Every structure is written in C-alpha cells, then in structure tokens.
Chain A
Amino acid sequence: MGGYIVRRSLLSIPLLLVISFLTFALSHLSPLDPAEAVLQAQGVPRITEELIAATKAELGMDRPFLVRYADWLVSSLKLDFGSSYVTGKPVWSLLGPAFANTLKLTLISVVAIIVMSIALGVLCALREGKWTDKSVRGVSFLLTAMPSYWLAALLIWYFSVKLDWLPTSGMDSYLSYVLPVIVLTINYAGIYFRVVRSSMLSQLNEDYVLYGRACGLPERNITMRLLRNSMQVAVSVFGMAIPILLGSTVVVENVFAWPGLGTLTVNAILGRDFPIIQAYVLILAAAFVLFNTVSDVINAALNPKLRKEL
C-alpha cells in the first residue's frame, strides 16, 4: 500500500509540471500584449510604444519565454504569484482569503451533497419503481435542468426579499451560508444520487443478497452490506466532488456576492488581470490533481485489485 501511494504521487508530478507550463503559456495566446494589458488595466490614458517597452523591461517581460516560465514556477511554489495588474497588490494577498472563503462554502456544500445523495440514492434504490423513487427522480430531473443562478435568484427573491428570513448576499453570518449551500446541493446531489442509486441497484442482484435473505438476515443488515459495497463507485465520484465544486462555484458566488475565488476571478477576467487568472488556474489545477490522487489512493485501499495496476 505504501508503495502504491508513493508511485501514485510520483505520477502526479509530471502532470503538475505540464499543467503549470500550459497555464503559463496560456497568457501568451492572448491577442493582447501583456505589457499593454498592464497599462490598460492601470487605466493609462495614452499608451505609446516607449511606454510599452518600459513596462516590459520593468516587469522583466523582455526576457526569454522559458526563463520567465522557470522564474514564475519557482516563485509560484513560494505562493508568490506576482502582483495584480489592476491594484498592484500581491496576488496571494487577494487570492488567499478568497480561496479560504470558497473552501468554506465548498466543504459545507460537499458534506450536504454527500449526505443528501446517499440518503436519496438509498431511498430510491430500496423503493425502486415505486412512487417515492419516481417522484424523487422526477423532481431532481426538473431541478437539475435549472440554471443554478436562476434557482439562486428565485430563492433569494422568495426567502430573502419576500419572507426576509435570510440575507440576500455577502458572507456576514452563518445564515449567509444557507442559500448558496442549498443551491449547490440541489445542483449536485441531483446528479450524484443517481450514481448511488444505480450502484445500489446493481448490487441488489448479487448472490450475497439472496443468500443473506435466504439465511433470514434482517433486512437492515443486508442494506448496510449493500451500502458498503456500493460505496466503491460513489467514493471515486465523491472524491472528485470537492475540486469540481471548488472550480464551479463561480456562478453561485457571483449571484450571492460571495467574497470568494469565483467573484475575484470573474472580476479579473473582465479587467484582464492576467496574474490573478494564472494563479487561479494553477491553484485549482493543483487541487484537482491532488484530490484525484487522494481518491485513487482511497479506492486502492478499498479494493486491493487496483493496487497492482500501477
């Protein structure tokens, strides 16, 4: 097992390198010259050739591409992503707190999503084809077809404006979490509970269930066994839920004015603030790779067959 963890972790290092290179190269695909972007972002009224050249020299953009990449990579490892083109503040001082805020929202939502998915998935699997199963699936079908920002707006309108129970936006108290978490949970649990349901259903036809019933095991024990065995598929899906959610809270954060990564990045995109965009992609890609590795390791721990593959 220890060997597997080492091998799997080593495998993710070249991947991270490729990702960091692509992230860095991405900003050179832009039709806009980075030096020009800096000047535009700072709101310089007249951008002359000399000014662009001077900015380039000042930011070290006149050095060869690979040198700059190596430089950027080394300083990124120290969480130094340069400074924002717009405000001039260090990127990490903006990104760090935003990342923490998004992480809080994500972790709470992931817990809610996992609880809801397992509860609904098990319920539907045990009542397959019955009224409960059909209505849960029908409602979830409709809810997952809703754009999350629309659902969010409807909830804000009803609970915050009409009933005045919850804050409309921001992150002031624990009450602020309620609506964003509900929106994210509805969006993702509606998809994940199907995974739990179908893996439960496939287990229901296994011989051990028949055998257990034949032996007169109480139905509750059988259900627990079913649950444990069907979790294998679910673990790999849930393992990825955290990074996926980290990367896709953008829209929901925007609606609720959540001071997180999404809001920061959308503003950076609109202001063409490349260092923030780069740092955002790098951090999330690294989180993605990290969680991928962890979920593979957990899977290998649950299923010894997988350990031999690597």
Chain B
Amino acid sequence: MNIFRNVWKDKLAFLSMSVVAAIVIVGLFAPVFAPHDPNEANMELRFASASWEYWLGNDHLGRCILSRIIYGIRPSVLWVFVALAASAAIGAAVGFLAGYFRGRTDAVLMRICDVMLSFPGYVMSLAVVGILGAGLDNILIAFVLMKWAWFARVIRTSVMQYAEADYVRFSRAIGTGHIAIMAKHVVPVSLPDIAVASSSAFGSMILQISGFSFLGLGIQAPHAEWGMMLNEAREVMFSRPGLMLAPGLAIVIVVSAVNFLSDALQTALDPKLMKSGKKRQEQAAAASARLEGREVA
C-alpha cells in the first residue's frame, strides 16, 4: 500500500497516471467516445479545419481526425502494451528459472540471451518484419522476439539477489518445494523490479512501433494508427503542416506520461533513491546506466 501512497503523493505522477488511465479507457471503449466512424471518407470535407462537428478537423480523405486518434489508441498503445506484457512474461519465466536454479540452467539460458542481445534489436525487428511482411501483427511478433531476452537479463539479476536471501535458504532447509518457494518468496519480491523494467521499456516501445508504422511497415490502410496518420500527413507536409500536430502530440503526451509514471514508480519502489538522491550507491547507478543504455537499442 505504501507504494500507492508514494505515487499518490507525487502530483505529477498522479497526473500522468490519470492521463494513462484515461487513454486506456478511451481506447478500450473507442466506439463510445469517437464522434464519427474513423474510416468514413467525406471528400467535401477534405482538409477542413476544426469545427464543432469535427473537433480536430478532417484529413486528406475528409475523415474525422479526432475519431481516428481515438481509434488509433488501440494499435498505438494497447497492442503495444500486449506485446510488452508478452515479452515481459517470457522474460520473467526465463529470468526466474535462470536466477533461481543457477548452475547449468542459468548458463544455458543466459547464453541464449547473450546471442539474442548481441543482435541489434531494432535491426532484427526490421528484418523479421521484412521477411514476414508488413503488418501490425508481424511488428508485434518481431518486438516480442527481440525484447524477451532483455527482460530475462534484468529479471534474473533481480531474482538472484533474493534467491540467496536467508529466508529462502531457511525455506529450502525445512523442505519447502521449489515451486512453493518461488511463488511465496521470490516472485512477489521481484514483481516491483519487473514493473520498473517494463514501464521503462514501454515508452520507447511505443515510439519504435509507431516509427515502423510511419515507415509504412505497420498497420495497413484504412485503419487508423498514430504513426500511420503522421505518414499520411507527411505527404502534404508543405501545404498543410497542421495535420502533423494532433497525432504527434498524442504520441508525445502518452510517452511522457508513461515515462513519468515509470520514473515515479522507480522512486516509489526504491527507498534508497527516495530518501536522499545523494546517497546512491555506485552499483545502483551503474545498473541504471546499463538499463538506460539498453533501452535505446
């Protein structure tokens, strides 16, 4: 409960939490919130500016931009979250096995991760999309394939700290089974680390996947997606630069809210960071540096 209280205390974190929650709700119930059909073309309204009927105006086919932004939440944010959850789940499973059992299991699993991480992630996602063909589903598959190894690494490191704790050793000594120990003593304490790792990856993943759509490799027309909308707006960038505004701002707002939340979560979960920003241990700084460095990849 302490975690929630701390996040609550931080007003900016609270604000970003509400922004994220609102976007998720609007995205889930897009048909309720969208004033028009996102794919309904209306050539008379080509490039119309904002009006009471169409709050954000209309695009090159006269489609309602607001409705397209609202429907675009689904592929741009919600599906990205699904891909993130999938890769975090695979990574967590591998990380738990490797970090808890150590020894040969650890060695084999970590060598596999090493190979995966020695690939430039972005390039490989591009290649997978190239081979499987363009489309949102293929992009999401590519990202899950590339991201799980990173999660496995981070989670293994976190599990290893707890797997050697005295209470775990005690449980083992009195004959508690491995599964029971994991479920009771290891998984719950490393959940915060998983949350921090996934939330820090979420923002960059939204950006990267929208970038793929921007390149025309993602969702196919006529479906709305923010990166795609920007791609369409680019065609008329010189004559109607205003069209780039709404989808771009939508991405900026979501990503900054997610990043803020991730930072707040990290502070709330790490008492060391919270009490005094100054007394950070070298290891923690190095670890976070590595984490941040990888995030870009």
Contact across chains for A149 and B230 when beta carbons are under 8 A apart = yes
Contact across chains for A199 and B211 when beta carbons are under 8 A apart = no
**A266 touching B217 in the complex, CB below 8 Å, given contacts A233-B286, A277-B130, A284-B120:** yes
Q: Which residues of B contact A147 (CB under 8 A)?
A: 207, 210-211, 214, 227, 230, 248, 251-252
Contact across chains for A153 and B244 when beta carbons are under 8 A apart = yes
- Residue among A156, A236, A270 making CB contact with B216, cutoff 8 Å: A270
Contact across chains for B134 and A26 when beta carbons are under 8 A apart = no
Contact with A along B181-196 (1 / 0, CB 8 A): 0000000000000000
Chain A, Cβ-Cβ closest to B206: A147
A126 at the interface (CB under 8 A from B): no
Shortest beta-carbon distance from B205 to chain A in Å: 12
Q: Which residues of B contact A236 (CB under 8 A)?
A: 290, 293
A15 at the interface (CB under 8 A from B): yes
Instruction: Specify the main secondary structure of chain A where it touches its partner.
Output: helix
Contact across chains for B214 and A156 when beta carbons are under 8 A apart = no
Most A Cβ at <10 Å: residue of B230, B234, B280, B293: B293
B15 at the interface (CB under 8 A from A): no
Instruction: Specify the main secondary structure of chain B where it touches its partner.
Output: helix
Within 8 A of A (CB), among B250-293: 251-252, 255-256, 259-260, 277-282, 284-286, 288-290, 292-293
A247 at the interface (CB under 8 A from B): yes
Q: Which residues of A contact B82 (CB under 8 A)?
A: none
Cα of A266 to Cα of B215 in the assembled complex, Å: 7
Stretch at the interface among A55-63, A213-221, A285-293: A285-293
Most A Cβ at <10 Å: residue of B132, B238, B241, B296: B296
Cα of A73 to Cα of B144 in the assembled complex, Å: 28
Contact across chains for A202 and B282 when beta carbons are under 8 A apart = yes
Most B Cβ at <10 Å: residue of A129, A240, A247: A247
Stretch at the interface among A29-37, A77-85, A86-94, A170-178: A29-37
* B interface residues, tally (CB under 8 Å): 56
Most A Cβ at <10 Å: residue of B128, B207, B255, B280: B207
- Residue among A141, A205, A268 making CB contact with B279, cutoff 8 Å: A205
A53 at the interface (CB under 8 A from B): no
Contact across chains for B129 and A244 when beta carbons are under 8 A apart = no
Shortest beta-carbon distance from B297 to chain A in Å: 5
Shortest beta-carbon distance from A128 to chain B in Å: 7
Contact across chains for B244 and A202 when beta carbons are under 8 A apart = no
B55 at the interface (CB under 8 A from A): no
Contact across chains for B118 and A19 when beta carbons are under 8 A apart = yes
Q: Which residues of A contact B293 (CB under 8 A)?
A: 191-192, 195, 236-237, 240
Within 8 A of A (CB), among B202-233: 203, 207, 210-211, 214-217, 227, 230
Q: Which residues of B contact A148 (CB under 8 A)?
A: 207, 211
Q: Which residues of B contact A18 (CB under 8 A)?
A: 115
Contact across chains for A281 and B132 when beta carbons are under 8 A apart = no
7 A-B pairs within 8 Å (CB atoms) are namely: A141-B259, A146-B248, A199-B289, A233-B286, A250-B122, A285-B118, A292-B118
A-B contacts besides A26-B127, A237-B290, A280-B123, 18 pairs, CB < 8 Å: A19-B115, A26-B128, A30-B133, A128-B278, A129-B277, A147-B211, A148-B207, A192-B293, A195-B293, A199-B289, A202-B286, A233-B289, A236-B293, A250-B126, A268-B130, A274-B131, A281-B123, A288-B119
